[in-house]
C-alpha cells in the first residue's frame, strides 16, 4: 500500500428536503451569491425554485449566471467570473450536474485570484484559493459534488482537460435524490456508466490496495443491481437515492486510497469524443471502455480476469469484456461509434485529436498506435 492523505472537506447533505439547510450553510460566507445553472432543467425539476427560496430566507443578494452547456466550455467560465468579480460576490451556489458544478469550481478560483480559466486549467497560474462553493446536485454521475476536480474544454486549442486543486472542494453539497427524478432515461444510463467507469479507472490503476479494490467491487455491484431496476422505474426515489450515493462514492477518494494512481486513459479517450461530437460523457465511456479492454486483454489478463471473477463469476478476460459491454448496452448506453452516428470515416479525426491531447493512462501508457487500435475497436 502507498502512503496517502485522506481529506474531504465537503459537508454532504443527503436526502429529501435537505435544501432547507442552505441558509445555515451559506450565511457564514457572506451575503452575495453568484447562482450558476445550466440550460433550463433546474427550472423544471424544482431545484432552482427551492434554492432561490432558501437564499431568500437567508436574505442573500443573488446574481444569476445560466446557460452552462453540457461538456462545458472555458468562455462561460470566464464570463461567469467576470460577473462575479464585478458584483463582488462572496460565494457561488451551483445548481446542476457535473458541467455546471465543474464550471463553478474553476469560476471560484478565477474570482478569488482574478485570473483566466484556461491559465488555471493549463497550470500557467497556481491558485492561491477559491471563493466558497456550495453545490445542489441534480444528476447522479460524476462525483464532482465531493471531489476537487473539474473538466473543461477549449475549442481554440482543441483540448478537453481535467484539472484538480484542493481549493475546489465544495464547502457543502446538497444531494436530494428527488431532483434527479426528472433525469431522462439516456442521461440516467450515462450516469450509471460513469460511476462504473470511475471504479474501473481505479481498478486498473497502479499499486496494490485491497480495501480500495473491495470498495470498487461493492460500488460496481450496487450499480449492477440497482442501475437496471432504475432504468425500468425512473420515478423511484429509493433507486435514485442508491445510484446517487454510489456515484458520489465512486469518485471521492474511497476507491483510490493506497494506490499509486488510477489509470484514466479511458476518460482521456472519451473526452476526445465529447470534445469532437458533444457526446455525453457517460456515453463516450461505454464506447471506449470495451475497446480499451480489448487492447489491454493480452497485457493485463490477470487483472481483467480478477474483475470478471468478482463481478460475473467469470474468469475469462474476453467473456468479462463481453459481459461488461452487455451491461452498458442493456442500460441503453452506446458501445460502438455507429450508435452515435459515426463511422470509420471519423477514425483519423478522432486519432488526430487523441494524439494532440497526448491521451495516455497513468498506469498503462498508450502509444500513437495503441490509440489508433483502440479507435478501430470502437467502430
CA 105/CA 54 separation, integer angstroms: 21
Q: Which does 252 bind (CB under 5 to 8 A by kind): ligand NZQ, Zn ion, none?
A: none
Cβ of residue 160: shortest distance to ligand NZQ, in angstroms? 7
Name the residue nearer to ligand NZQ (CB basis): 233 or 344. 233
Of ligand NZQ, Zn ion, none, which one sits near residue 149, judging by CB under 5 to 8 A according to partner kind? ligand NZQ
Beta strands in the chain (DSSP E): 11-14, 32-37, 61-65, 91-96, 133-137, 149-154, 159-164, 172-175
Q: Which does 183 bind (CB under 5 to 8 A by kind): ligand NZQ, Zn ion, none?
A: ligand NZQ
Contacting range for Zn ion; rule: CB under 5 A; set: 117-125, 149-157, 187-195, 237-245: 187-195
Distance in angstroms (rounded) separating the CA atoms of residues 251 and 144: 8
Q: Which is nearer to ligand NZQ, 182 or 306 (CB)?
A: 182
Residue (89 or 324) nearer to Zn ion, CB:
324
42 binds, among Zn ion, ligand NZQ, none (CB under 5 to 8 A by kind): ligand NZQ
Could you give the 3-state DSSP secondary structure of residue 172? strand
Question: Residue 316's CB: how many other CB atoms inside 10 A?
Answer: 15
Can you spell out the DSSP letters for 133-166?
A: EEEEE-SSSS-GGGSSEEEEEETTTTEEEEEE-G
Residue 196's contacts (CB-CB under 8 Å, 6 or more residues apart) are: 220, 223, 224, 250, 327
Q: Which residue number, 81 or 94, has a Cβ lying nearer to ligand NZQ?
A: 94
Closer to ligand NZQ by CB, 102 or 325: give it: 102
Whether 83 contacts 290, CB under 8 Å: no
Q: Which helix (H) or strand (E) holds 91?
A: strand 91-96
Q: In angstroms, what is the minimal distance from the CB of 24 to Zn ion? A: 31
Question: Is residue 194 a contact residue for Zn ion (CB under 5 A)?
Answer: yes
**Residue 258 backbone dihedrals phi, psi, to 5 degrees:** 95, -10
Binding residues for ligand NZQ, rule: CB under 6 A, are: 38-42, 45, 70-72, 96-100, 102, 138-139, 141-144, 147, 149-151, 179-180, 182-183, 187, 194, 251, 267, 281
Is residue 152 a contact partner of residue 77, using CB atoms and an 8 Å limit? yes
Least separation in angstroms between CB 128 and ligand NZQ: 21
Shortest reach from residue 354's CB to ligand NZQ, in Å = 15
Q: Residue 64 pairs with which residues in a beta bridge?
A: 35
Q: For the CB of residue 139, give the shortest distance to ligand NZQ in the complex, in Å.
A: 4
Cα separations in angstroms, 220 against 98, 194, 216: 20, 11, 6
CB of 228 to Zn ion, least distance (A): 20
Q: DSSP letter at 88?
A: T
Looking only at residues 9 through 38 of this chain, which bind Zn ion when binding is defined by CB under 5 A?
none
Tell me how far apart the alpha carbons of residues 70 and 342 are, in angstroms, rounded to a whole number.
20
Residue 96's binding partner among ligand NZQ, Zn ion, none (Cβ under 5 to 8 angstroms by kind) is ligand NZQ
Angle between the N-to-C axes of helices 301-312 and 317-331, in degrees from 0 to 180, rounded to the nearest 10: 50
| Closer residue to ligand NZQ (CB): 118 or 187 | 187
Q: Which stretch binds Zn ion (CB under 5 A): 20-28, 191-199, 208-216, 311-319?
A: 191-199
| Site of interaction with Zn ion (CB under 5 A) | 194
Amino acid at each position: 500500500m502507498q502512503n496517502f492523505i485522506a481529506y474531504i472537506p465537503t459537508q454532504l447533505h443527503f436526502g429529501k428536503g435537505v435544501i432547507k439547510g442552505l441558509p445555515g450553510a451559506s450565511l457564514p460566507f457572506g451575503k452575495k451569491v453568484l447562482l450558476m445553472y445550466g440550460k433550463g432543467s433546474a427550472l423544471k425539476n424544482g431545484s432552482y425554485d427551492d434554492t432561490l427560496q432558501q437564499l431568500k430566507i437567508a436574505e442573500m443578494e443573488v446574481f444569476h449566471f445560466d446557460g452552462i452547456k453540457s461538456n462545458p466550455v472555458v468562455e462561460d467560465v470566464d464570463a461567469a467570473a467576470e460577473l462575479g468579480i464585478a458584483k463582488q460576490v462572496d460565494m457561488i451556489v451551483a445548481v446542476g450536474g457535473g458541467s455546471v458544478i465543474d464550471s463553478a469550481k474553476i469560476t471560484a478560483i478565477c474570482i478569488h485570484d482574478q485570473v483566466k480559466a484556461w491559465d488555471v486549467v493549463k497550470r500557467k497560474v497556481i491558485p492561491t484559493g477559491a471563493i466558497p462553493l456550495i453545490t445542489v446536485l441534480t444528476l447522479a454521475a460524476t462525483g464532482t459534488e465531493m471531489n476537487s476536480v473539474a473538466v473543461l474544454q477549449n475549442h481554440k486549442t482543441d483540448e478537453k482537460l481535467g484539472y484538480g486543486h484542493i481549493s475546489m472542494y465544495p464547502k457543502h453539497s446538497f444531494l436530494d435524490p428527488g431532483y434527479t427524478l426528472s433525469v431522462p432515461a439516456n442521461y440516467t444510463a450515462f450516469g450509471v456508466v460513469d460511476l462504473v467507469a470511475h471504479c474501473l479507472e481505479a481498478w486498473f490503476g497502479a499499486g496494490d490496495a485491497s480495501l480500495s479494490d473491495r470498495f470498487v467491487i461493492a460500488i460496481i455491484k450496487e450499480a449492477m443491481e440497482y442501475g437496471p431496476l432504475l432504468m425500468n422505474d425512473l420515478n423511484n426515489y429509493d433507486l435514485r437515492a442508491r445510484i446517487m450515493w454510489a456515484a458520489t462514492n465512486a469518485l471521492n477518494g474511497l476507491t483510490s486510497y493506497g494506490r499509486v494512481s488510477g489509470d484514466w486513459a479511458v476518460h482521456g479517450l472519451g473526452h476526445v469524443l465529447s470534445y469532437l461530437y458533444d457526446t455525453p460523457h457517460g456515453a463516450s465511456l461505454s464506447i471506449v471502455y470495451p475497446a480499451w479492454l480489448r487492447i489491454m486483454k493480452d497485457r493485463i489478463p490477470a487483472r481483467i480476469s480478477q474483475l470478471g471473477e468478482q463481478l460475473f463469476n467469470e474468469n475469462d478476460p474476453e467473456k468479462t469484456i463481453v459481459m461488461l459491454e452487455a451491461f452498458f448496452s442493456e442500460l441503453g448506453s452506446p458501445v460502438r461509434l455507429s450508435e452515435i452516428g459515426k463511422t470509420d470515416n471519423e477514425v483519423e479525426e478522432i486519432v488526430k485529436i487523441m494524439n494532440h491531447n497526448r491521451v495516455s493512462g497513468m498506469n498503462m501508457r498508450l502509444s500513437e498506435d495503441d490509440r489508433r487500435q483502440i479507435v478501430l475497436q470502437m467502430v
